[in-house]
Amino acid sequence: MLTTDTVSLSDPLDPAVLRRAAGLLTVTVDDASRARLAQGHRVFRTLRDGDGTGPQRPIYGATTGFGALVGYAGRADEADQCDNTLAHLGAGQGPDLPPGVVRAALLIRARSLAQGVSGVRADVVERLAEMFATTFTPAVPRYGSVGASGDLIPLAYATQALRGRGHAYADGRRMPAAEALAATGLRPLALDGRDALALVNGTSVTTAALALAHDAVRTAHRSLTALTCLLADLLGCDTGFLDADLMRAYAHPGAGGTAARMRQWLEGTEPSGTRPLQEPYSIRCSPQLLGAAEDALRYVDTVVAADLAQISDNPLFFPGTAGEGKVVHGGNFFGQPAAFAADLLACVTAQLGNLAERQLDLLVDPHRNGGLPPLLATRPGVQHGLQGVQLATTAFVAEIRRNATPAAMQSLPTNLHNQDVVPFGTQAALRAHDMAELLGLLCGSLALGLRQAVHVGARRPTAPRCADLLDALSAAIDPVDPDRPLDADVRTAARLLADRALP
């Protein structure tokens, strides 16, 4: 059963909060947020309506058309201007986005609006916050965003669902949005043109997918570091490849830190003395590979933190020290940092996935695994051990590699060349999210192989921390004897690794 906890829109967001948004979450709008929202809305109204002595100030999306049609007047009625904002953006296609991504995106959107410079009414943010205490989730198609002017099309579907239009989920069931609102005790959201544009004109879907993907890859990186150590211990490898002097000579900080963590994992291990002088690269070069991944992930850390803190919208309304304040039209909806970061994350994911697959291949190969039976089968030929799992990991790696083509370099002009450069950050981030899930399954597959290796004759780990990890895997997963479908076991191993919060 889902449980609730509490988040304030005045607090910083982080990936842990975004994960919790997939379930029931109490989101609060405090007095400071209400004050900011009231001030921002006053600035907007003053600039839009003027003081009655002269013409109103042109404001994109409030008094004008949208995109390339900015030079034309919008609709005079504010409720009609909301429809004018949203109707033409109903052009998405494809399967629905994962509900966790959609709810995380709307939490990011709510926090951006709550900073008070988008000019929206406080009621809009408060009503959006109410959604998180329910199971209501807009149905949002995957395809349609170019990640410039924000995630216009996916956020338009989310906004329309909050108005009772389109489709949504309630208690996990897809239905017309009006029915989902009623089922969860929510009222349709009423918006004017500024409110509607502010809800769609940001990169919140991109940021949500990137942050969740990055968090999952970081978890997999920690898991793979620990599993590499367990592999080395089971095989009886000499740990000289982790030598501190060797790592200082390499000079890269990520490798040095990774090797130090691996030395901690392998503290107390006893080399067997039967291994080759130099291990295959999937073991011997693991601190260099995992360390380079750590250095890259630290860069993505900074982009995710900035994206979660940013105000992604256009235009923005800033109060003045005296008088009416100002409206600034610019490009704070342009998701280029996230696009670059997601492409880098995809590259890291591909190499980590390759490492996990190569380590499993080493483990099931009787010519390299220290004499264990082929495919770790208890009775080869009568049983087939991890043969199916290895086939699946090959497919996972191929899928990850196919999706690792950079998206941020694929810019295409659109919108009558108003959007003449676009970052495609949405595609990059959603693709990274898919790849991160496969990487977790690759880690689970390797963990299953390590658990099975001990069952078919590998030594028990001699390093206490490695032994503890093996014991946890053994308690959760039965040995493969006789053969059985292993899909659920791979997922169990992946969840165990994620839940153990490995250092």
**pLDDT tens-digit profile of 212-258?**
999 999 999 999 999 999 999 999 999 999 999 999 999 999 999 99
60-73 residue pLDDT tens: 888 888 887 888 88
Q: Kindly report which listed range (146-160, 404-418, 469-483) carries the lowest average pLDDT score.
A: 404-418
Cα–Cα distance measured from residue 411 to residue 31, given in angstroms and rounded to the nearest whole number:
42
Find residue 414's DSSP bridge partners.
Answer: 419
Question: Tokens in use for 213?
Answer: 């993907």
What gap in Å lies between CA 451 and CA 480, rounded to an integer?
Answer: 9
Express each pLDDT in 97-112 by its tens digit: 999 999 999 999 999 9
What is the pLDDT of the chain when averaged over all its residues? 93
- Cis before 482? omega within 30: yes
Same domain, 262 and 181: no
Instruction: Between 49 and 486, name the one with better pLDDT.
Output: 486
Give the residue, 59 or 161, on which the prediction is more confident: 161
Cβ neighbours of residue 109 closer than 8 Å, sequence gap 6 or more: 128, 155, 199, 202, 204
Q: Which two tokens stand for residue 8?
A: 């304030």
- Tokens matching residue 211: 């942050």
Distance, CA of 368 to CA of 235 (rounded, Å): 10
Tell me, what's the pLDDT at 500? 86
State which of 157, 186, 202 marks the end of a domain: 202
Handedness of CA 366, 368, 369, 375 (dihedral sign): negative
Report the CATH number at residue 56. 1.10.275.10
Residue 320 lies in a domain: no
The CA dihedral of 352, 354, 356, 357, to the nearest 10 degrees, is: 160
Residues 48 and 187 in one domain: yes
Tokens 């002269």 correspond to: 54
Region of 405 on the Ramachandran plot (φ > 0 left; ψ -120 to 50 alpha; else beta): beta
Q: Pairing between strand 93-96 and 141-143? A: antiparallel
Which tokens go with 269?
């291990």
Residues near 178 by beta carbon (within 8 Å), at least 6 away in sequence: 164, 165, 188
pLDDT in tens, 160-181: 999 999 999 999 999 999 999 9
> Is 239 a member of any domain?
yes
- Please indicate, yes or no, whether residues 265 and 411 belong to a single structural domain of this protein: yes
For residue 421, what are its two tokens? 């450069």
Please return the burial class of 125, using the count of CB atoms within 10 Å of its CB with bins 0-12, 13-18 and 19+.
buried
**Is the predicted pLDDT of residue 419 greater than 80, yes or no?**
no
For residues 148 and 47, state if they share a domain: yes
Residue 374 has pLDDT above 70, yes or no: yes
pLDDT recorded at residue 420: 74
Residues 6+ apart with CB under 8 A from 80: none
Contacts of residue 275, Cβ cutoff 8 Å, sequence gap at least 6: 235, 236, 237, 238, 370
> Which is higher by pLDDT, 384 or 60?
384
Percentage above 90 pLDDT, the chain: 80
Q: Does residue 323 form part of some domain?
A: no
Q: Is 271 exposed, middle or buried (0-12, 13-18, 19+ CB in 10 A)?
A: middle
Q: Which of 180, 202, 224 is the last residue of a domain?
A: 202
My answer on whether 259 and 285 are in the same domain is: yes
450 contact partners, CB below 8 Å, separation of at least 6: 227, 230, 231, 234, 363, 470, 473
| Residues forming the active site | 60
Give the range of the structural domain holding residue 21, as residue numbers without chain letter. Answer: 6-202
Q: Is the pLDDT of residue 55 over 60?
A: no
| CA distances to 35, 115, 263, 398 from 360, in Å | 57, 48, 21, 15
Which helix (DSSP H) or strand (DSSP E) does residue 213 occupy?
helix 204-235
* Mean pLDDT on 318-347: 89
191 with 339, same domain? Answer: no
Residues 121 and 235 in one domain: no
pLDDT at 194 over 50: yes
Say if 380 falls within a structural domain.
yes
Q: Does residue 1 belong to any structural domain of this protein?
A: no
Give the amino acid at 179.
E
Whether residues 118 and 223 share a domain: the answer is: no
Query: How many structural domains comprise the chain?
Result: 2
Q: What is residue 95's three-state secondary structure?
A: strand
Is the full-model pTM beyond 0.85? Answer: yes
Of 153, 187, 202, the position where a domain reaches its end is 202
Q: Do residue 467 and residue 353 come from a single domain?
A: yes
Residue 488's H or E segment, with its range, is: helix 487-499
Q: Is residue 83 part of a domain?
A: yes
Shared domain check, 150 and 213 = no
Q: Quick: pLDDT tens for 258-276.
A: 999 999 999 999 999 899 8
Q: How remote is the C-alpha of 171 from its chain's centroid?
A: 23
Q: Are residues 13 and 159 in the same domain?
A: yes
Q: Are residues 286 and 192 in the same domain?
A: no
CATH classification at residue 421: 1.20.200.10
pLDDT at 1 over 50: no
pLDDT of residue 259: 98
Q: Is residue 262 part of a domain?
A: yes
The answer to whether residue 318 sits within a structural domain is no
Confidence of residue 3 (pLDDT cuts 50, 70, 90): low
Please give the angle made by the CA atoms of 153, 155 and 159, to the nearest 5 degrees: 115
Q: What is the mean pLDDT of residues 429-433?
A: 96
